[in-house]
Amino acid sequence: MDLVFDHDTLGQRVLFGSGKAAENLAAEVARRRARAVMLIASEAEMQIAASVSSDIEIALTYHDVAPHVPLEKAEKARAAAAEAGIDLLVCVGGGSTTGLAKAIAMTSRLPIIAVPTTYAGSEATNVWGLTEASRKTTGVDDAVLPRTVIYDVELTYSLPAELSVASGLNALAHCIDSMWAPRADPINQALAAEGIRALSHGLPLIKVDPRNRRGREQALYGAYLSAVAFASAGSGLHHKICHVLGGAYNMPHAETHAVVLTYVLALNAPAAPEAATRIAAAFGSETAVEGLSSLREKLDAPRALKDYGLAETDLPEAGRLILPVVPPLNPTPVTQENLQQLLHAAWAGTEPGNI
């Protein structure tokens, strides 16, 4: 069969180096000749953000950050940036912090320098998300893609092992979803496969020793690859499910992804044998589902959505909200019946083979 595809590569500068975040940030701010920098970080990350930005002048420090980027908080941050005459956004933190910077950039077109402290991956995509009235809306806009990403393994040491596991499995979800997302192609599948290999190698090392630098490097490298693959391939079934659950029921982002991934993989793998074989090879396992299950066992990963606040009575409504946004070319046709089976299994934490 002829190899035919089209692929977009997003333009972004990546600086990767342990202990180099402050140095790299100062150099980037100087290179951009920024005069009024807005530093965005949650209160929990403010000490790290202060250290990273110690060599630059900050015009506005902003910490009103919340998961899933509520629209009212986005509008408040946009107004603050405009009032301060900001010409560069610097975000230090996880996906919520990056998401708020993207919300500002979406309307102001201001450039972003992202300094991640988790494995969320949002920093490498042009995808934005906003939540209003318990409904999360996502979209694509190249203006929200951070111009520069500064990776520093030492900044992830603040992330406890259990949150590193959840965040890393969120990154793994980007990889697996990219194998059959709407714009999947050989390039983003190759990036995703390498991301799976790196994450499946690095996360167990972090679980054993949270300060294992080699493990942190592999996880951070894998998280970047996962996000690049996801940005190119688009949002598949897994992400559609998790976006609805997060926005409608205020579910924790990383833990929700960590749970749901198992069940989406079990649903889709039989109908996508080539992708499943590639996923299995990246795990070094006989099958894709076995590879993920083995990794989850090593990591003692999050197991059930009921453990994070989702009620069983929410499942019928969740299914009705998810079904209209399911990608039409998902490998396994999604019906209300098998979607409810998937959601109930994920809620209860039952074995994925039961779907």
Q: pLDDT, tens digit, for every residue of 157-211?
A: 988 888 899 989 999 999 999 999 999 999 999 999 999 999 999 999 999 999 9
Mean pLDDT, rounded, for 311-332: 96
Query: What residue ranges of the chain are covered by domains with CATH 3.40.50.1970?
Result: 13-156
Three-state secondary-structure class, residue 21 = helix
Long-range contacts of 291-298, Cβ-Cβ distance < 8 Å, separation of 24 or more: 291/200, 292/172, 292/176, 292/261, 292/262, 292/265, 293/262, 293/352, 295/172, 295/200, 295/203, 295/204, 296/169, 296/262, 298/203, 298/204, 298/207
Confidence of residue 56 (pLDDT cuts 50, 70, 90): very high
Q: Percent of the chain, pLDDT > 70?
A: 99
Let me know if 77 is exposed, middle or buried by CB neighbors in 10 A (0-12, 13-18, 19+): buried
In 3D space, the residue among 114, 97, 98 whose CA is nearest the CA of residue 14 turns out to be 114
| Model pLDDT, residue 253 | 86
Bridge-partner residues for 40, per DSSP? 62, 91
Confidence of residue 9 (pLDDT cuts 50, 70, 90): confident
Has residue 354 got a pLDDT over 90? no
DSSP alpha helix (H) spans, 234-301: 237-249, 253-268, 273-283, 288-299
Is the pTM for the entire model greater than 0.85? Answer: yes
Look up residue 34 and give its DSSP letter.
-
| CATH class (in words) of the domain with range 159-354 | mainly alpha
The single residue listed with the structure tokens 């192609």 is 185
> Which value, in Å, is the radius of gyration of the alpha carbons in the chain?
19
Three-state secondary-structure class, residue 12 = coil
Distance CA 28, CA 274 (A): 42
Amino acid at 254: A
In 3D space, the residue among 106, 76, 73, 70 whose CA is nearest the CA of residue 89 turns out to be 106
Query: What residue ranges of the chain are covered by domains with CATH 1.20.1090.10?
Result: 159-354
Distance CA 281, CA 242 (A): 26
- For β-strands 37-40 and 60-62, DSSP reports them as parallel
- The tokens for 279 are 């996923």
Distance CA 288, CA 266 (A): 8
The domain at 13-156 falls in which architecture?
3-Layer(aba) Sandwich (3.40)
